[in-house]
Amino acid sequence: MTITDVATLLAHAHAMEQEAAERYEELAAQMYAVNNSKIGDLFTKLAEIEAKHAAQLSLEHGAANLALTASDYKWNSLESPEAIPIGEMHYLLPERRAMTLALAAEHRALAFYERLADDAPNEKLRAMAAEFAADEATHVRIVQAWLLRLEADVENWHEDMDPPVSL
């Protein structure tokens, strides 16, 4: 982890929320393209929530003005932590599985800030990382509660009775 000042942390925080929002938008488009509108709507809703988080960071900290070049972001992962990997998508993706992916994304964001708080070289950075970690912990609890309200997905949800020809 090489984030050592508050401005860089804010740039990362804003980029994380922004990229999560854009990813959810993109995943929603993927789902609409295969007529999985239920999950498309779910991802659209999650995109709106993440966009609100990004806007809030901008409002409170002016974080949108602190964008770095792509190579300057230090995520310690292949992508920004809160973005669901595109490879996790499936055209038959059911609701509970989708929310489980969203929960994993919130957990990755929480772990990112917790680690940053632990490694922070100064108190100001530590305090801000801890504050963001607390926000992410709240998001984790919200998504967990959301998951509890969902019915289990059907077993073997990914099996298609009319599969592509060579499978």
- Dihedral angle, C-alpha 49, 53, 56, 58, nearest 10 °: -130
| Nearest-approach distance from CB 97 to another protein, in angstroms | 12
Question: Least distance in Å: CB of 86 to another protein?
Answer: 5
Q: Please state, in angstroms and rounded to a whole number, the distance separating the CA atoms of residues 31 and 9.
A: 33
- Give me the least distance between CB of 92 and another protein, in Å please: 9
Nearer to another protein, 42 or 120 (CB): 42
Closest CB to another protein among residues 14, 139: 14
Interface residues toward another protein, by CB under 8 A: 22, 26-27, 29-34, 36, 67, 69-71, 73, 75, 78-79, 85-91, 93, 164-167
Instruction: Please identify, using beta-carbon distances, which residue of 89 and 133 lies nearer to another protein.
Output: 89
Cα–Cα distance, 107 to 112 (Å, whole number): 9
Nearer to another protein, 30 or 61 (CB): 30
Kindly state the helix (H) or strand (E) to which residue 58 belongs, with its residue range.
Answer: helix 37-61
Smallest separation, CB 30 to another protein (Å): 4
- Shortest distance, position 78 Cβ to another protein, whole Å: 5
Distances (CA, A) of 35 to 10, 32, 87, 155: 37, 5, 19, 21
By beta-carbon proximity to another protein, the closer residue of 11 and 27 is: 27
148 Cβ contact list (under 8 Å, min separation 6):
none
Q: How far apart are CA 42 and CA 39, in angstroms?
A: 5
